[in-house]
Chains A and B, each alone.
Chain A
Amino acid sequence: MKTPILWAVAAVLAIGMSHAQAADESAGETLYSSNCAQCHGPKAKGMASFPSLAGRDAEYLSSRLEQYRAGEKVGANSGLMIPNAKNLSDDDIANLAAYISSNFQ
């Protein structure tokens, strides 16, 4: 009897741990649809002057978002993007990068 309970506890702990560390895609989805989709599109394929994010890997997306958060100019329209990155936390960036990179090819 004891062993299975211990295993179960360990398993729950392990799941909890991995959740705490790995990005939370569903939080990324919520944030994306409320704060990003109006420019980059519901499928992140870009619209008008707003670039496609589809097919970018998480590392690329995070580093861009960190640049914009720091107020760095990247392309001609950074002025439009910077205010949208200003208030993102490290977790937000990780969640967004995970959500975008694994859902939009």
Chain B
Amino acid sequence: MSEKRSIQSLGATIAASALILGAPIAAHSASDGPELKHTTVLSDLENPWDMAFLSDGAMLFTEKCKGLSIRLPNGNVNHLLGMNGTEGYASTADDLVCAGQAGMNGVAVDPDFAENRTIYVYSASTISDLRTNRVLRLKLNEELTDVSGRTDIVKDIPYKQEATDHPFGDSGAHNGGRIRFNPDDGYLYVTTGDNHNSQLPQSGGSLGGKVLRIDADGKGAPDNADATPEGFDPRIYTYGHRNVQGITFHPETGQPYVTEHGPWHSDEVNALVAGGNSGWDPRPNMAGRGDCPDNYCGYMPNQNEGMDPDERRKFMPITDTATYPDAMKPVWGNNGLSQGISSGVFLTGEQWGDWNGQLAVSFLGIGFGGTPVGQRINLLDLSEDGASVRNVVEMPVPTGAMRYRSLVQAPNGDLYAAVDEGQIYRIQPQ
């Protein structure tokens, strides 16, 4: 009996909290979108992290601790660049390593791929004395069987070297790691993370807690420096971020949008403005805070116990507009909850019906301190000026609840979703 009761009470707690906190999300029915079907494109992967498509539908994909592979349109997979300790890859790079959240993350295809066969990967590396996160530029051969000509175009994105006294406090934490070309300006945008190091987000000398805007050689876009404060690294586009795992661009305006993972509260979607400060500053002894564990207030005032997310927000806001009145205000704040927002992409194409032009955002799900786990994909209907959200619906995902890590649209308009469980799904309107 006791076993039944406890199962039911657990279930009831979850259902009750989902009811209360989920209510605003479910305000509009999801039925305005098309009926969906899904296909499992790949399975038994190890922590797939990102995908990028060639124009013929071939799909590059990364696995966090294994490396870079490509799935051909006929379904065959070629393993291209393996990380330390892997076998069966055409090439291996022993300096590419994984630990905790770090490893091989984002992948992108050069806008001129047809001419230059160039692709890019974000990965942790041991080349330098201290580990770094890097952006690698590679050439993919005509046969799609191997890569060559590695050049590390960004070598100095900070990496968390040692474990600290924080939730998820292992080394390798908070790397950002999504890389995407903006079709509008042709630059490569690179998202990074704060490494649980409170100094990084507001520091103009470090690439941690930033979004970078660079060219194919890793040089900063010339107008970055006009927009950022004096003395900032010229590669920095925006700063004051915590851990940006998603970036995508408005299909009509080219406006960059990021998804920013919240600290036990307030996942955010932000519209980036050149030189903008996203307002994350977890330093101790400022903004009313005292000392914090290992000099990082990011999970305070109460690191390890559940508490009202609203109380947390007051103590340690993700966008501190009191200290930084000009900070970029979030377009959307996930009703004040942190549920592991992980990536975003605009859906385009008539086949998506009412969702055509809406921003799909994915969640890993967390489930800490009474917050509903929240594994899902949401569709955000942005206002005309793109600065706020008119309506939010939950995509009735045919895959079921999963730890959604990456959303990417294929050239034919299908949505692809990678989940930590090891699958990559194709989601299509019926």
Q: Enumerate chain A interface residues (CB-CB to B < 8 A).
A: 24, 27, 30-31, 34-35, 38-39, 41-42, 47-49, 76-80, 82-84, 87-92, 95
3 closest A-B pairs (Cβ-Cβ)? Answer: A79-B304, A91-B3, A47-B420
Binds A, one of B119-127, B248-256, B349-357, B361-369: B361-369
Tell me whether B169 is interfacial, beta carbon within 8 Å. yes
Q: Report which of B10, B305, B364 forms a contact with A87, defined as CB distance below 8 A.
A: B10
Cβ B170 vs Cβ A38 within 8 A: no
Look across to chain B and name the residue whose beta carbon is closest to the beta carbon of A93: B3
If A27-B3, A77-B167 touch, does A34 touch B11 (CB 8 Å cutoff)? yes
Q: 11 A-B contacts, Cβ less than 8 Å apart?
A: A27-B7, A38-B403, A41-B420, A49-B168, A49-B170, A76-B168, A77-B167, A77-B169, A80-B366, A80-B368, A89-B2
**B interface list, Cβ under 8 A from A:** 2-3, 5-7, 9-11, 47, 100-101, 163, 165-170, 303-306, 364-370, 373, 375, 401, 403, 420-421
Write the nearest CB–CB distance from A79 to chain B, whole angstroms: 3
Instruction: State whether B303 touches A49 (Cβ < 8 A).
Output: no
- Which residues on B sit within 8 Å (CB–CB) of A91? 2-3
Q: Would you call B7 and A92 a contact (CB within 8 A)?
A: yes
Which residue of chain A is the closest to B7 with respect to CB atoms?
A31
With a CB–CB cut-off of 8 A, which chain A residues contact B401? 38
B420 contacts which chain A residues (CB < 8 A)? 41, 47-48
* A83 close to B3 (CB less than 8 A): no
Q: What is the CB-to-nearest-CB distance from B174 to chain A, in angstroms, rounded to a whole number? A: 11
CB-nearest residue of chain B to A34: B11
- Considering the complex, give the chain A residue whose CB is closest to the CB of B167: A79
Taking a contact as CB atoms under 8 Å apart, the answer to whether A76 and B2 are in contact is no
Listed residue (A41, A79, A88, A89) with the most chain B CB atoms within 10 angstroms of its CB: A79
Closest chain A residue to B405, Cβ basis: A48
State whether A49 touches B6 (Cβ < 8 A): no
B304 and A87: CB pair below 8 A? no
User: Contact at B47–A83, with CB atoms within 8 Å?
Assistant: no
B421 engages A47 (CB within 8 Å): yes
B22 to nearest A CB, angstroms?
Answer: 16
Q: How far is the CB of A88 from chain B (nearest CB, A)?
A: 6
Contact across chains for B421 and A92 when beta carbons are under 8 A apart: no
B6 and A87 form a contact (CB under 8 A): yes
Contact B168–A77 (Cβ < 8 Å): yes
Q: Residue on A with the closest CB to B374? A: A38
Residue numbers in B under 8 Å from A24 (CB-CB) = 3
Q: Using Cβ atoms and an 8 Å threshold, which residues of chain B touch A38?
A: 365, 367, 373, 375, 401, 403
Asked, given contacts A38-B365, A39-B367, A76-B169, whether A95 binds B3 with beta carbons under 8 Å apart, the answer is: yes
Select which of A42, A80, A84, A88 is within 8 A of B167 by beta carbon: A80
The listed residue (A35, A48, A76, A79) touching B305 by CB distance below 8 A is A79
Q: How far is the CA of A39 from the CA of B2 in the complex (A)?
A: 25
CA distance A20 to B406 in the complex (A): 45
Q: What residue of chain A has the Cβ atom nearest to residue B2's Cβ?
A: A89
Q: How far is the CA of A82 from the CA of B11 in the complex (A)?
A: 17
Give complex CA distance A64, B305 in Å. Answer: 19
Query: In the complex, what residues of B have CB within 8 A of residue A47's CB?
Result: 47, 403, 420-421
Q: Which among B375, B401, B421 has the greatest number of chain A C-beta atoms within 10 A?
A: B421
Asked if B9 and A87 make an inter-chain contact with CB atoms under 8 angstroms apart, the answer reads yes
Please name all residues of chain A whose beta carbon is closer than 8 Å to the beta carbon of B5 when the two chains form the complex: 89
Q: Taking A35-B10, A47-B403, A79-B303 as given, write out 7 further A-B residue pairs in contact, using a Cβ cutoff of 8 Å, ordered by the A residue number.
A: A24-B3, A27-B7, A48-B364, A76-B165, A77-B167, A77-B168, A87-B9
Give chain B nearest CB distance to A81 CB in angstroms. Answer: 10
Residue among A76, A78, A84, A91 with most chain B CB within 10 A: A76
